[in-house]
Amino acid sequence: MTSSDPATPAGAEDLPKSFSVHAVTGLPEFHHGDDLVGHLPALEDRDIVVVTSKVISKIEGRLVAVGDGEEERQRAREDAITGQTVAVVAQRGPTRIVRNQLGLTMAAAGIDASNVPNGVIALLPEDPDASARRLRAAIRRRLSRDVAVIITDTVGRPWREGLVDIAIGVAGITPLRDLRGTLDTHGHPLAVTALAQADEIASASELVRGKVGSVPVAVVRGIPWQDGEVAASSLIRGGETDMFSLGTRDVVPATASGAGAGIAAPQQIEAALAAVPEVDGVSTSYAAATIAVHSRIDSFETGVYVGKLLVALRAEGLIGSVASRDPVQIETTVAAAYQGRPVP
Amino acid sequence: MTSSDPATPAGAEDLPKSFSVHAVTGLPEFHHGDDLVGHLPALEDRDIVVVTSKVISKIEGRLVAVGDGEEERQRAREDAITGQTVAVVAQRGPTRIVRNQLGLTMAAAGIDASNVPNGVIALLPEDPDASARRLRAAIRRRLSRDVAVIITDTVGRPWREGLVDIAIGVAGITPLRDLRGTLDTHGHPLAVTALAQADEIASASELVRGKVGSVPVAVVRGIPWQDGEVAASSLIRGGETDMFSLGTRDVVPATASGAGAGIAAPQQIEAALAAVPEVDGVSTSYAAATIAVHSRIDSFETGVYVGKLLVALRAEGLIGSVASRDPVQIETTVAAAYQGRPVP
Q: Where are the domains of chain A?
A: 20-62+125-241, 251-335
Query: How far, in Å, CA of A90 to CA of A253, rounded?
Result: 10
Query: How far, in Å, CA of B337 to CA of B99, rounded?
Result: 12
Contact flag A15-B301 (C-beta cutoff 8 Å): no
Residues of B in contact with A114 (CB under 8 A): 184, 186, 188-191, 193
Return the SS3 of B266: helix
Q: CB-based contact (8 Å) between B90 and chain A?
A: yes
Closest CA to A318 of A326, A308, A310: A310
Query: How far, in Å, CA of B49 to CA of A60, rounded?
Result: 40
CB B240 within 8 A of CB B265: no
Q: CB-based contact (8 Å) between B273 and chain A?
A: no
Q: CB-based contact (8 Å) between B304 and chain A?
A: yes
Point out the residue among B158, B207, B303 whose CB comes nearest to the CB of A307.
Answer: B303
CA A342 to centroid of chain Cα atoms: 18
Amino acid sitting at position B154: T
Query: How far, in Å, CA of A151 to CA of A128, rounded?
Result: 7
Contact flag B277-A253 (C-beta cutoff 8 Å): yes
How many residues are given for chain B? 344
Residue A254's alpha-carbon distances to A81, B74, B305, B312, in angstroms, are 19, 38, 14, 11
Which of B174, B251, B295 is the mutation pick for testing A, counting most A CBs within 10 A? B251
Query: How far, in Å, CA of B269 to CA of B287, rounded?
Result: 10
pLDDT number for residue A66: 84
In angstroms, the first-to-last Cα distance of chain A is 32
How many residues are given for chain A? 344
Query: How far, in Å, CA of A46 to CA of A221, rounded?
Result: 7
Contact flag A235-B104 (C-beta cutoff 8 Å): no
Q: CB-based contact (8 Å) between A199 and chain B?
A: yes
Contact flag A184-B211 (C-beta cutoff 8 Å): yes
Across-strand partners of B293? Answer: B284, B328
Over its length of 344 residues, how does chain B's per-residue pLDDT go in tens digits? 333 333 344 345 789 999 999 999 999 999 999 999 999 999 999 999 999 999 999 999 999 888 777 788 788 888 888 889 888 899 888 888 999 999 999 988 888 777 787 788 899 999 999 999 999 999 999 999 999 999 999 999 999 999 999 999 999 999 999 877 777 777 776 666 799 999 999 999 999 998 776 799 999 999 999 899 999 999 999 887 899 999 999 999 988 876 677 888 999 999 999 999 999 999 999 998 999 999 999 999 999 999 999 999 999 999 999 999 889 999 999 886 443 333 33
The distance of B96 to chain A (nearest Cα, Å) reads 11
Query: DSSP H helical segments within chain A, as ranges?
Result: 53-59, 70-84, 128-143, 197-209, 266-275, 299-315
Q: CB-based contact (8 Å) between B7 and chain A?
A: no
Q: CB-based contact (8 Å) between B170 and chain A?
A: no
Contact flag A235-B162 (C-beta cutoff 8 Å): yes
- Residue A327: asked if its preceding bond is cis (omega within 30°), the reply is yes
Amino acid sitting at position B252: V
Which of A157, A190, A255, A273 is the mutation pick for testing B, counting most B CBs within 10 A? A157
Contact flag B236-A117 (C-beta cutoff 8 Å): no
Query: How far, in Å, CA of B203 to CA of B340, rounded?
Result: 35
Architecture (CATH level 2) of domain A251-335? 2-Layer Sandwich (3.30)
Over its length of 344 residues, how does chain A's per-residue pLDDT go in tens digits? 333 333 344 345 789 999 999 999 999 999 999 999 999 999 999 999 999 999 999 999 999 888 777 788 788 888 888 889 888 899 888 888 999 999 999 998 888 777 787 788 899 999 999 999 999 999 999 999 999 999 999 999 999 999 999 999 999 999 999 877 777 777 776 666 799 999 999 999 999 998 776 799 999 999 999 999 999 999 999 887 899 999 999 999 988 876 677 888 999 999 999 999 999 999 999 998 999 999 999 999 999 999 999 999 999 999 999 999 889 999 999 876 443 333 33
**Predicted ipTM of the assembly:** 0.91
CB A317 within 8 A of CB A335: yes
Query: What DSSP string describes B10-22?
Result: TT-S---SEEEEE
B20-62+125-241 CATH choice from 1.10.10.10, 3.30.1330.100, 3.30.2130.10, 3.40.710.10? 3.30.1330.100
The distance of B85 to chain A (nearest Cα, Å) reads 16
